[in-house]
């Protein structure tokens, strides 16, 4: 978190000079009065219209017990963008957090975007916030912080939502949250869109998540399709990097490509496996990540360690010429020894558009003491029907021909349960990991 994004107690008092304040829950909340002392709680505020305020998203932070990143788009620049925050249903004490202009230019468009960090929140507390611009305001949205010792929560897992029209993606995501309304957090393991420069695809992707990404925090993973321009040539994943302000990794060259965060009793390491796509623009991503990952996994004190990454750790045989042999991918060769060394519990991957549960693996062989590896399938409509020959390590393969799917992960004490579902809710796999 930068000083520019963070509002200190002193700065808040300066901003709210002349207005009475109360200390509550470790933060500063202002009595909702005007400078003339009139109670404005019952005054109607003009509602921000759809294009004035859209694609609201909650982003994970490094410490989800005490903070949350809020981002949104607008069709025109706001005159005074800010977040109004309060404890849930507490209409008397509120905090105002200025938003920063995080706009950028891509695909011939000026993407007007704002970002605000809600920090110094209390663990395990229900808040709500509204986006404001002068006299206009959005409706209230919930923010639920985690707790340090939270040993029970549910997560939704999607991957490869790239699509032709994103209707399948909408169907998968919306049905998933309807069936699992208690999910507190969700991820998408890369290839969010088919073309990373196509702004219309990003709008369709965000639109499909209405009622999800604005309600619970999102942990994104960069995929290779985020690195394609309109001419289908490789580029840096500009839109992805700007749309998703993720926890700082202190990298000079690869900020936002990879990161880590904690949620409850789980430490998540999120890897960026796009070195092949960006190598003509900058190099060193994989080696830098390997060094960072060792330090990151060594440093955490959380009992559970989970890795999220796009490209898979295994290489599948393809019979066409030139034939590609079954084995371990370049990503697997680099990272699997680190996963084993630091006792990573679960590794979730995407990229190949097929669901495969490999069980626990050490040094390329099944071993109950190794990490559980799951290739998570696809959540869009781009399918590689029967392309991949089964791998020797595959234990569960989705029914063929494959369709889209989603997954849930339920953390409860010393057990994590992962389930895979078809879009209609049919369960096709379930696996438990015991600590």
CATH code of residue 373? 3.60.21.10
For tokens 């394609």, the residue is: 228
Domain stop point among 121, 144, 167 = 144
Boundary of a domain, candidates 144, 171, 186: 144
Domain with 387, as residue range(s), is 152-434
Contacts of 343 (CB under 8 A, 6+ apart): 305
Residue 2 located in a structural domain: no
Separation CA 232–CA 234 (nearest Å) = 7
Same domain, yes or no, for 216 and 281? yes
Tell me: do 87 and 222 sit in the same domain. no
Q: Specify if 1 maps to a domain.
A: no
Within-domain flag for 67? yes
Same domain, residue pair 265 and 162: yes
Same domain, 236 and 294: yes
In a domain, 234, yes or no: yes
Distance, in Å, from the CA atom of 371 to the CA atom of 336, rounded to the nearest integer, reads 9
Q: Where are the alpha helices (DSSP H) in 191-244?
A: 199-208, 238-243
- 106 shares its domain with 254: no
Q: Verify that 106 and 217 share a domain, yes or no.
A: no
pLDDT of residue 385: 75
| 295 in a structural domain | yes
295-311: b (≥16 Cβ within 10 Å) or e: ebbeebeeebbbbbbbb
pLDDT, block means (10 residues), the chain with 435 residues:
41 35 40 37 67 93 96 96 96 94 97 97 97 94 91 96 96 98 98 98 98 98 98 98 98 98 97 98 97 98 98 87 83 98 98 96 97 98 83 94 95 97 97 97
User: Are residues 164 and 136 part of one domain?
Assistant: no
Query: Tokens 């060094």 — which residue?
Result: 291
pLDDT of residue 323: 67
96 close to 28: Cβ distance less than 8 angstroms: no
DSSP secondary structure code for residue 189 in this structure: -
Domain count across the chain: 2
Q: Do 15 and 59 belong to one domain?
A: yes
User: What is the structure's pLDDT at 151?
Assistant: 85
| Statement to judge: residues 73 and 221 lie in one domain | no
CA 317 to each of CA 40, 111, 323, 344, 359: distance values in angstroms, whole numbers, following the listed order: 67, 42, 7, 27, 19
b/e sequence 14-24, b meaning 16+ C-beta within 10 Å: eebeeeeeeee
Q: How many residues does the chain have?
A: 435
Q: Are residues 101 and 172 in the same domain?
A: no
User: Are residue 216 and residue 75 in the same domain, yes or no?
Assistant: no
Q: Sort strands 104-106 and 109-118 into parallel, antiparallel or unpaired.
A: antiparallel
Is the domain of 306 the same as that of 405?
yes
pLDDT for position 148: 81
pTM, full prediction: 0.90
């Amino acid at each position: 978190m930068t000083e520019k994004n963070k509002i200190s107690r002193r700065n808040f008092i300066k901003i709210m000079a002349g207005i009475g304040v109360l200390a509550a829950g470790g933060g500063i909340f202002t009595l909702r009065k005007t400078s003339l002392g009139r109670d404005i709680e019952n005054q109607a505020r003009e509602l921000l219209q759809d294009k004035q305020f859209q694609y609201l998203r909650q982003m994970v932070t490094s410490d989800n017990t005490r903070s949350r990143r809020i981002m949104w788009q607008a069709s025109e620049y706001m005159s005074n963008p800010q977040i109004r925050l309060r404890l849930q249903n507490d209409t008397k004490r509120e905090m105002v957090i200025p938003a920063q202009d995080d706009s950028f230019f891509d695909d011939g468009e000026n993407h007007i975007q704002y970002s605000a960090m809600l920090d110094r929140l209390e663990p395990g507390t229900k808040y709500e916030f509204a986006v404001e611009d002068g006299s206009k305001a959005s409706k209230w949205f919930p923010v639920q912080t985690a707790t340090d010792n939270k040993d029970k929560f549910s997560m939704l897992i999607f991957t490869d939502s790239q699509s032709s029209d994103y209707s399948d993606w909408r169907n998968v995501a919306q049905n998933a949250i309807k069936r699992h309304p208690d999910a507190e957090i969700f991820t998408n393991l890369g290839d969010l869109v088919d073309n990373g420069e196509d702004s219309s695809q990003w709008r369709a992707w965000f639109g499909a998540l209405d009622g999800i990404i604005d309600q619970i925090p999102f942990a994104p993973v960069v995929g290779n399709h985020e690195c394609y321009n309109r001419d289908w040539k490789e580029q840096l994943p500009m839109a992805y990097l700007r749309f998703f302000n993720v926890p700082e990794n202190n990298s000079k060259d690869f900020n936002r490509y990879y990161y880590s965060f904690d949620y409850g009793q789980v430490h998540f390491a999120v890897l960026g496996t796009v070195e092949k796509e960006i190598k003509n623009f900058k190099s060193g991503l994989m080696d830098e990540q390997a060094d960072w990952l060792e330090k990151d996994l060594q440093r955490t004190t959380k009992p559970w360690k989970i890795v999220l990454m796009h490209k898979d750790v295994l290489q599948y045989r393809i019979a066409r010429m030139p034939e590609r042999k079954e084995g371990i991918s370049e990503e697997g060769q680099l990272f699997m020894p680190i996963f084993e060394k630091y006792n990573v519990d679960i590794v979730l991957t995407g990229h190949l558009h097929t669901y495969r549960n490999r069980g626990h693996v050490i040094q390329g062989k099944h071993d109950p003491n190794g990490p559980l590896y799951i290739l998570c399938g696809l959540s869009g409509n781009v399918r590689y029907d029967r392309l991949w020959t089964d791998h020797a390590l595959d234990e569960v393969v989705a029914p063929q021909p494959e369709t889209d799917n989603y997954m849930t992960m339920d953390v409860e004490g010393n057990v994590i349960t992962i389930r895979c579902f078809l879009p209609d809710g049919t369960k096709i796999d379930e696996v438990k990991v015991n600590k």
